[in-house]
Amino acid sequence: MASKQLLSVLAVIAVTAVLPVAMGAEFVVGDDSGWKPDFNYTEWAADKVFRVGDHLVFNYTEGVHNVIPVNGEKFKACDASGAENVLSSGNDMVHLKVDGRKWYICGKGDHCTRGQKLVINVLTALGEAPSSPPSSSATGIASYSYKMLMGVAAAAAMVIMA
């Protein structure tokens, strides 16, 4: 009886630990700087690994900026014309559902040419390591292994309890 209760507790702990994997990571674009011109988002993204299942949060004052998903050519040209999915809430969440390169620009004024543009490469959810690992890859891999371990522990606890 006591051991079964212990297993329940362990299972809850393990499931709680593995939940962030299922939900993906959240990246506040620009961190405390938020989404604005005169900021280098290439530099911001350089040490991060984005995966399918993660999401981006664009944080800015509503009305001052917006977020427009574009293609590579429009990104280069800062071309906001013909935009279909303009995000403008000031707290825009973008779920990364498909792997590959993603581009976002601000369509207000000259903001894009002033650096308010973000390009990221989204890796598959459980894909291989990026071809050129970022400097922080050691911690990334460590936390990833930890989550995998907790996932296995959760699965094992479920099996034992069943």
Ligand X SMILES: *[C@@H]1O[C@H](CO)[C@@H](O)[C@H](O)[C@H]1NC(C)=O
Residues lying near ligand X in the complex (CB under 6 A) are found at 28, 34, 40, 42-43, 46, 57, 59, 115
Q: Which is nearer to ligand X, 74 or 117 (CB)?
A: 117
Which residues, at least 6 apart from 148, have a Cβ–Cβ distance to it below 8 Å?
none
Which residues, at least 6 apart from 154, have a Cβ–Cβ distance to it below 8 Å?
11, 14, 15, 17, 18
Pick one of ligand X, Cu ion, none as the site partner of residue 65 (Cβ within 5 to 8 A by kind).
Cu ion
State the Rg of the chain over Cα. 20
Q: Which is nearer to Cu ion, 68 or 106 (CB)?
A: 106
Q: Mark 57-96 with x for binding to Cu ion (rule: CB under 5 A) and - for no binding.
A: --------x-------------------------------
Could you say which DSSP state residue 26 is in?
E
Q: Which is nearer to Cu ion, 93 or 152 (CB)?
A: 93
Query: What is the C-alpha separation between 156 and 97, in angstroms, rounded?
Result: 29
**117 is an interface residue for Cu ion by CB under 5 A:** no
